Amino acid sequence: MTDALFAEPGSTWWPAAWGPGFALVGALVEALSGPVHVLAWIVVAVVLGAIFALWVTARRRTCAVRVTPDELVQGGERLPVASLASVEPDDTEGGRVLGGGFAVPRKFTGVPLRLVDGKVVVAWARDGDGLRAALESVIGSAPDVRG
C-alpha cells in the first residue's frame, strides 16, 4: 500500500463507546433509587454499542478520504491522479460530487477539481486546505497524460 499524502478516516471509533456509556449512566441513576437491573443494562450497552459501531463503520466507508501519489479516494470512489488536470479556485462552479453523494457531506469542505477531459468534479474533506495542498502537490508531480 502506498503511503498517503493526506488521509481522513471518516470517523474515529470513540462513538462506539457511547452506548455502553449511556448504559452505565442509566445504571448509576437506577442505583440511586433502588436495585440495579444489571442484565438489562448489559443488554442495553451491547445493543447500543453495536448500533454505534455500525454507524462508525458506515462513516468510515462513505466519508474516508485519502490522497496517494497514484490516486484520490473519496468514500467508495477511486480516481487516478493521472486523470486530474488541476485544482480549481474555491469559487468555481462545481459539477458531480465525488464519492457518490448528491452534495458535499455536512461539515466537509468542497475542493473543485478539473479533470483532463475538461469536466469539473468536487472532492471534499474536513480539512479542505490540507486536501487542496495534497492534491496540488500530486497534480504538479503527475505525468502529463493530455498529450
pLDDT single digits (tens) 47-79: 999 999 999 999 899 889 999 999 999 988 999
146: pLDDT strictly greater than 50: no
Q: What is the pTM of this model?
A: 0.76
pLDDT single digits (tens) 87-129: 998 877 778 999 888 888 888 999 999 999 999 999 999 999 9
What is the maximum alpha-carbon separation in the chain? Answer: 78
Rounded CA gap, 141 and 130, in Å? 17
Pairing of strands 96-97, 120-125: parallel
pLDDT for position 54: 95
pLDDT for position 127: 93
pLDDT single digits (tens) 3-12: 889 999 988 8
**65-67 sheet: strands from edge to edge:** 6-8, 65-67, 71-74, 77-80
Rounded CA gap, 30 and 33, in Å? 5
Q: What is the mean pLDDT of residues 35-47?
A: 95
41: pLDDT strictly greater than 90: yes
43: pLDDT strictly greater than 90: yes
HSE-CB of 126 using CA atoms within 13 angstroms? 7
Asked if residue 41 lies in contact with residue 32, where contact means CB atoms within 8 angstroms, the answer is no
